[in-house]
Amino acid sequence: MTGPESELVDPAVVDAWIADDPDPATRAELTDLRKQDPEELAERFRGRLTFGTAGLRGPLRAGPNGMNEAVVCAATAGLADYLREHHSGGIVVVGHDARHGSRRFARACAEILAGAGFDVVALPGPLPTPLVAFAVRRLGAIAGVVITASHNPAGDNGYKVYLDSGSQIVAPVDADIERRIAAVASVRDLPRRQVIGGDRGVIDAYIRRVASLPRGDARVLRIALTPTHGVGGDIALRALRAAGFDDIAVVAEQFDPDPDFRTVDSPNPENPATTARLLALAERVDADVAIALDPDADRCAVGILGRDGWRMLSGDDVGVLLGARLLADAPVDAVVATTIVSSTMLGRIADAKDVRCVRTLTGFKWLTRAADNLLYAYEEAIGYCVDPEAVRDKDGISAAVMVADLVADLRSTGRTVDDLLDDLTRRYGVHAVDRVTRPVDDPAQAAAVLDRLRADPPTTIANEPVRVRDYADPALAETSPPLRTNAIELIGDGIRMVVRPSGTEPILKAYLEAVVPVVGDDPGPARAEAARRLAIWRQVATTL
């Protein structure tokens, strides 16, 4: 062949992929691209979608550098090969959300795993990600797979793996599975066996477990809820009602699963515009608390009526509130965990209770491995693990039930969430947080910022001495849990900033925290001082 395509991608590679692709739609997509857009075709074959500690996640498109049925089949074959080496057999749970392609990808995954000799439990219909994590532990499964891209844009999908602990995979397992994926010769030749039905008993057991979590007796509470066009709506309603919370208003236009997320620009409840309808509903129905789940319901955002109107709490606010409640009667051998980019207040609360607090790298794949006797874990990105014995991952639905329990208890005594936050602040000091997010063109650009900081680290910020902690230090790979990663922490007196590239998106992130003691009963002056210092460091973060 001559012409542009022959200069950009090997035609034989394209021919082989098209011949092996089991999906006629993506075969046709590649055939059209080779005629109409050789540059885009070359992009599709510029490497494979990499299988990492988050499994697979990427845009829905044909070719090896996208999420499609051929890529899912190869990933499943690689996973099956890994499981065969480490287990003589066993149960594998497969679930999926309601995104474009999710049902088809889950069916292919289940059939290939069954064809490889495993007992596959396919959960019935689109369901929250935490149900897969729950099912793995409840059924004693050797692995679980859920097809989801969580809160990513509508054009993405993903493939997430749990192993027999019910936790997400970590290195070096990801690299081992990736090597096996690359060795798959043909996905069309993989044996398949049809998987019929699903286990609804897992859903009922999950509802019962979540409903048993509340610590208090108060149940008078009005809740405003949105599942943000995702799969958590029905299960969240069932769980809240089973726990005794019956007064629930929902954002009707966001309640049914919608893979296009039509009412929001982003389905991430951390974005203020995404929760605007929820807060409007909360105000309209005079709710006591507002709760937003992300599309696969593993994360939970919380809104309250504060002194200046309705607002969404930060992930650190909710993380500390839930942590303080669970630590109130924690056994002495309990362990709580949070990440290096989250607030340090949980550690101070744990110290006061003589409970160990472990700080890990970002991600629940690390948090849930902090200790076997883990009581609670959270990260600032609105992820909470309130029941690690049942779900060894973040779970927005169980978190929502625990939030309802907390707010109902406060309401029954005439107190508010702001009152409790003030109490914690007076005792442990202001822990003000902020985050600066900067889009980059590619991961190399984010890495270059870290390289510049390593080569020429600042010694002062705002005329205050600063020391540097480089998380790329090889010695940190030997800590337990391991803390080595591509991140740098700038540390001042009562203030710090962690800079790292995102693991799932093309952005550079800077996480800031200012800690100021409260003198007297009024936390206002300490909050003002923390805000002043954060503003200075935020300006520095924007110029990195």
- The residues annotated with a catalytic role in the active site are 150
CB atoms < 10 A from the CB of 507, how many?
13
Alpha carbon distance 263, 33 (integer Å): 32
Q: Show the 3-state SS of 369-418.
A: CCCCCEEEEEECCCEEECCCCCCCCCCHHHHHHHHHHHHHHHHHCCCCHH
Residue 136 token pair: 């793995």
- What Rg do the C-alpha atoms of the chain give, in angstroms? 24
**What are the Cα distances from residue 495, in Å, to 252, 421, 491, 532?**
43, 20, 6, 11
- The whole-angstrom distance between residue 494's C-alpha and the CA centroid of its chain comes to 29
Are residues 161 and 144 in contact, defined by beta-carbon separation less than 8 angstroms?
yes
Helix, strand, coil percentages in the chain from 3-state DSSP, rounded to 5: 40, 20, 40
Alpha carbon distance 287, 108 (integer Å): 43
First to last CA, the chain: 47
Pairing of strands 507-516, 222-226: unpaired
The structure tokens 């110290």 sit at 351
The structure tokens 């029954």 sit at 412
Answer whether the bond into residue 59 is a cis peptide, omega within 30°: no
Q: Show the 3-state SS of 515-537.
A: EECCCCCCCHHHHHHHHHHHHHH
Are residues 111 and 194 in contact, defined by beta-carbon separation less than 8 angstroms?
yes
Residue 517 token pair: 């003691």
Residue 114 token pair: 């069954």
Are residues 322 and 299 in contact, defined by beta-carbon separation less than 8 angstroms?
no
- The whole-angstrom distance between residue 349's C-alpha and the CA centroid of its chain comes to 24
List b or e across 114-136, with b for residues whose CB sees 16 or more CB atoms inside 10 angstroms: bbbebebbbbeebbbbbbbbbbb
Eight-state DSSP code of residue 477:
G
CB atoms < 10 A from the CB of 90, how many?
16
Task: State the number of CA atoms in the 13 A half-sphere of 415 facing the CB.
Answer: 13
Alpha carbon distance 493, 463 (integer Å): 12
